[in-house]
Amino acid sequence: MTRRPLSRILAVTSAAALALAMAACSSDAGDAEDSAGTTAEPTEETDDAAAAEFPEGSTMAGLVEDGSVTVGTKFDQPGFGLLNPTTNEPEGFDVEIAKIIVDELGLSAEDIEWVETVSANREPFIQEGRVDFVVATYTINDTRKEVIDFAGPYYQAGQDIMVAAGNPLGITGPDDLAGTTTCSVEGSTPAENIRTNYPDAELTLFDVYSKCAEALKNGQVDSVTTDNVILLGIIAQDPESFELVDNPFTEEPYGIGVQKGDDDFRSFINDVLEASYEDGRWAEAWDATAGQFAETPEPPAVDRY
């Protein structure tokens, strides 16, 4: 083999790599693989009218001017934020709430760019402005309030326990977990709660709840514990295998995360939430999504701190 064919191979492969890199760069703007969602297309007519409503320099005005909003949500929570792989967009209650907020900005649902925010990265994403706000089964607590701010709450969940259908171990509450194995996600608040307050329960920790469900089905763990709505979503997909103990033992207020100190944006979102409670959009959003498998509750009072 002479020198020429090999350098030709190398030249072709590096050209191909460069071409792919170019393709990667150019498709970043509307990358379907990493942030399932659509490219932002500013809707010209509503821009000026909406921008006029918001104070200069506020986040809302900035968003309207950009014509697009980046929203962080979960992609793997049935009923709240679950990616529909056929449309490449997430669906669920959190998604609908985000759409209501964006609608109040004067933009449309097509202007939203959805980003998957898993539990570990919600704060860094908000802090660094990677997302404009996060609505992702995001429990409000004081540790998080040190680095970001919360609008809402827009829903009150509670930690609960899911067991195999028939409840073979007769678990009725967290105290019954002593001496059994319970599954949750590493780093989550429910896991931390069990570790601190119910140390006799043996914790098994995966990185996603779907693995916990799988483990429960195989009998590898005795129960799964997290927020009741998340459990209900899992049960809805496989009602014959699981059941909910239905004894919530904490209060998990779900809030909308925004940058620390952005009080204007926070008030705006709180206003939108309260309005949606009044005019029924909140209830509508619930019925269309999580309401399919969970009862419609009363909306919680927003906390303007």
Partner 1 sequence: MSAILDNLDLYWSGFLTTVSLSVLAALLAFALGTVLAAFRVSPFPPLAGFGTAYVETVRNTPLTVLWFFMVFGLPLLNLTLPSFFVAGVLALGLYTAAFVCEAVRSGINSVSAGQAEAARAIGLTFTQSLRLVVLPQAFRTVVPPLGNVWIALVKNSSIGAAFAVTEITAVATRLANSNPADVIAVFLGAAVAYLVLTLSSGLALEIIERRVVVLR
Partner 2 sequence: MSDQTVLYDHLGPKGRRNVRIGTAVGAVFLLGLIALALVQLQQSGQLEGERWAILFDPDTGVPQGLMRALLATLRAAVVAMALSMLLGALLAVGRLSEHAWVRVPITAVVQFFRGVPLLLLILFAYLALPQLGIDLNLFWTLVVGLTAYNMAVLGEIFRAGILSVDRGQWEAAYALGLRKSQVMRLVLVPQAVRRMLPAIVSQLVTLLKDTSLGFIIGYFELLRQGRAYVEFYGARYGLQIYVAVAIIYISVNLMLSLLARWLDKRTSRSPKAAAVELPDEYEPVVPLGRE
**Is position 275 an interface residue for partner 1 (rule: CB under 8 A)?**
no
Counting residues that bind partner 2 (by CB under 8 A) gives 46
Matching residue, tokens 């939430």: 273
What tokens appear for 6 in the block?
Answer: 């090999």
Query: Which residues, numbered 108-137, are part of the site for partner 1 (CB under 8 A)?
Result: 119-120, 123-124
Q: Is 130 in the site for partner 2 (CB under 8 A)?
A: yes
Residues 6 or more apart whose Cβ sits within 8 Å of residue 213: 162, 224, 234, 238, 242
Question: Please, what is the minimum distance in Å from the beta carbon of residue 301 to partner 2?
Answer: 33
Among 4, 247, 241, 205, which residue's Cα sits nearest to residue 120?
205
99 binds partner 1 (CB under 8 A): no
- Residues 230 to 289: which contact partner 2 by CB under 8 A? 237-238
Question: CA 186, 188, 193, 194 torsion: positive or negative?
Answer: negative
Among 12, 26, 28, 280, binds partner 2 (CB under 8 A): 28
Alpha-carbon span 301 to 165, nearest angstrom: 35
Which tokens is 30 given? 């509307």
Binding mask 200-229 for partner 2 (x = CB under 8 A): -------xx-x--xx--x------------
d(CA 68, CA 112): 6
Give the one entry of partner 2, partner 1, none that residue 186 binds, where binding means its C-beta sits below a cut-off of 5 to 8 angstroms depending on kind: partner 1
Nearest 5°: phi and psi at 156? Answer: -110, 110
Shortest Å distance, C-beta 121 to partner 1: 9
**How many CB atoms are located within 10 Å of the residue 100 CB?**
20
Residue closer to partner 1 by CB (options 170, 219) is 219
Nearer to partner 1 by C-beta: 73 or 189?
A: 189
What's the half-sphere exposure (Cβ side, CA atoms, 13 Å) at 130? 15
Please choose which of partner 2, partner 1, none residue 24 contacts, taking the beta carbon within 5 to 8 angstroms, the exact cut-off set by kind: partner 2
For residues 253 and 121, is the Cβ–Cβ distance under 8 A? no
**In the bound complex, what is the minimum distance in angstroms from residue 148's beta carbon to partner 1?**
8
In the block, tokens 């693989």 appear at 33
Q: How far is CA 226 from CA 86, 111, 136, 159, 216, in A?
A: 28, 32, 14, 5, 14
From the list partner 1, partner 2, none, partner contacted by residue 251 (C-beta under 5 to 8 A by kind): none
Helix, strand, coil percentages (3-state) for the chain, rounded to 5, are 45, 20, 35
At its nearest, how many Å lie between partner 2 and the CB of residue 263?
23
Contact residue for partner 1 among 34, 53, 175, 186 (CB under 8 A): 186
- Would you tell me which residues interact with partner 2 (CB under 8 A)? 1-3, 6, 10, 14, 16-18, 20-21, 23-24, 28, 31-36, 75-76, 78, 82-86, 116, 118, 120-121, 124-125, 127-130, 207-208, 210, 213-214, 217, 237-238
